[in-house]
């Protein structure tokens, strides 16, 4: 078993061309409220999986109007671990309203002054940035980079591609485009496949 000290930091950054959800958003209409359903499903695919080889983090940036960032590091500890997207959405709402979260849960909201500045700050922290897109190099092309680098950041959009503006910023920061294949994936399916491949390569 690989110890926590050797875990690779893997940051998943979801850029949503949506305004942040309102503090009183309805749990009965998740698809219509800033794509909270997409975010909830993505959270369920990342935690608590892959804890032996990788330390996943999720950051979701709602870029419209006044940008806000949701950071997720952990789901609640057993036995109250959420089992579906509705329960995860409820945690997102609690965090948005600064309400107490179950033990072990790490959900944090904060405003972002400038999306470009935020992306540059990630790169300044030492993350190697990769944009998931159908037009990129095959994932296997960067296998040795994934194995070598300690901090990886994968950027993806929700149900649409990243805007040209943000794509240009990522490219200017040395971000490389990678593809999971010709098949179009939902965000949650992208990360499931991505971590599956990374886990195999890191075990070599």
Show pLDDT as tens, one digit a residue, over the chain (204 residues): 333 346 889 999 999 988 999 999 988 877 666 789 889 988 988 886 555 778 889 999 999 889 999 999 888 766 556 578 899 999 999 999 999 998 888 999 999 999 999 999 999 999 999 999 888 999 999 999 999 999 999 999 876 678 899 999 999 999 999 998 766 566 778 888 899 899 889 888
Count Cβ atoms below 10 Å from residue 97 Cβ, excluding itself. Answer: 10
CA–CA dist 191, 147 (Å, integer): 17
Q: Which residues contact 176 (CB under 8 A, 6 or more apart)?
A: 129, 130, 131, 136, 137, 142
What is the distance, to the nearest Å, from the Cα of residue 197 to the centroid of all Cα atoms in its chain? Answer: 17
Whole-prediction pTM value?
0.90
- Domains of the chain plus CATH, in order, are 4-202 (3.40.1280.10)
Sign of CA dihedral 39, 42, 48, 51: negative
Task: Look at the block and give the residue holding tokens 């671990």.
Answer: 81
């Amino acid at each position: 078993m690989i110890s926590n000290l050797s875990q690779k930091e893997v940051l998943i950054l979801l850029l949503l061309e949506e305004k942040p959800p309102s503090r009183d958003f309805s749990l009965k209409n998740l698809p219509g409220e800033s794509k909270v359903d997409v975010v909830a499903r993505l959270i369920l695919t990342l935690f608590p999986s892959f804890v032996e080889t990788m330390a996943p983090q999720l950051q979701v940036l709602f870029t419209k109007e006044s940008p806000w960032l949701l950071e997720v590091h952990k789901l609640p500890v057993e036995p109250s671990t959420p089992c579906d997207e509705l329960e995860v959405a409820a945690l997102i709402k609690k965090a948005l309203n600064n309400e107490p979260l179950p033990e072990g849960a790490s959900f944090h909201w904060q405003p972002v002054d400038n999306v470009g500045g935020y992306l540059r700050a990630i790169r300044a922290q030492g993350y190697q940035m990769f944009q998931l897109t159908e037009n990129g190099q095959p994932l296997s092309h960067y296998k040795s980079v994934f194995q070598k680098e300690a901090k990886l950041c994968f950027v993806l959009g929700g149900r649409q591609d990243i805007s040209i503006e943000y794509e240009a910023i990522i490219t200017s920061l040395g971000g490389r485009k990678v593809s999971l294949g010709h098949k179009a994936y939902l965000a949650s399916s992208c990360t499931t496949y991505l971590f599956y491949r990374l886990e195999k390569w890191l075990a070599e």
